[in-house]
Amino acid sequence: MAKTADVLKTQNVRRFGRGARPILFAHGLGCDQGMWNAVTPAFEDDHEIILFDHIGAGASDFTAFDRVRHSGLDGYAADVIAICDALQLRDVAFVGHSVSAMIGVLAAVRRPEMFSRLVLIGPSPCYLNDGEYRGGFDAATLNELLDFMDSNYLGWSSAMAPVIMGNPDRPELGEGLKESFCRADPEIAKHFARLTFFSDNRADLAKLKTPALIMQCALDVIAPEFVGTYMHRHLNDSQLVRLAASGHCPHVSHPLEVISVLRNFLTSSSSYHHTAAA
């Protein structure tokens, strides 16, 4: 992994906006920071926007991928913390999609003073079914899915992008997600996918003290409704909003709804700041 001084270049960090309050947006598996393009303009006037690409995605430095550091989601959480430290950010509102939602949880558990709020879009602490817990997948299905990805990354991208995106009446959305998949480094993407789908962070939920908003989509094949309800029940200070949006990427398919819910959460308290002692 690059030194802290180099992290802004390594992870293609962009910083803009005319406000003082920082919002850091973190993309999901196979995506890049461009997935937030329809959301960020709504917050530029009153917030500082920070975007980045996970190592292996978008315009990040693929050579910075470290199989030891990035052997668990904790390593990706350390990347987020390194970005915040490099920019000297505090009281960050973290907005994470899909696997980045749990990366944000891990980062906030590790450095609670750094984050004011978490916004978790389509999150899941565990994708595997386990007894009464219904993560949405059994191990055989996940292994079959990941074997397909290993053997034919482009074919997997073409087949899975429209399924993940949902909204079949708008095929251009799935095509855009496929293009994002294809910009990623295939080998790193395969590693990140296996790590994502076989991680189990259910035990970490109770450690989080930062206020969190969970956005649950309708007809989400990746993070079903059970998972959103489970997270709401196990996070100490959380709100659950069930969106009218369908699919797994509402910030792309239904950005106006996401903007409305996000803005309401960010302005819902007279005190924006949150500390570990609060």
Q: Is 151 a known active-site residue?
A: no
Q: Are 123 and 42 in contact (CB under 8 A)?
A: no
Per annotation, catalytic residue among 100, 220, 238, 254: 220
Q: Are 226 and 200 in contact (CB under 8 A)?
A: no
Alpha-carbon span 192 to 194, nearest angstrom = 6
Instruction: Using the structure block, give the residue that is written with the tokens 């904790």.
Output: 74
Q: Is 98 a known active-site residue?
A: yes
Q: Is 273 a known active-site residue?
A: no
Alpha-carbon span 107 to 113, nearest angstrom = 10
Token pair of 188 as six digits: 């790193």
Task: Name the residue type at position 117.
Answer: R
- How far CA 27 is from CA of 32, 123, 230, 232, in Å, comes to 6, 12, 22, 21
Per annotation, catalytic residue among 98, 100, 199, 253: 98
Let me know if 136 is exposed, middle or buried by CB neighbors in 10 A (0-12, 13-18, 19+). buried
Q: Are 145 and 135 in contact (CB under 8 A)?
A: no
Per annotation, catalytic residue among 47, 54, 248, 254: 248
- What are the residue numbers of the active site? 98, 220, 248
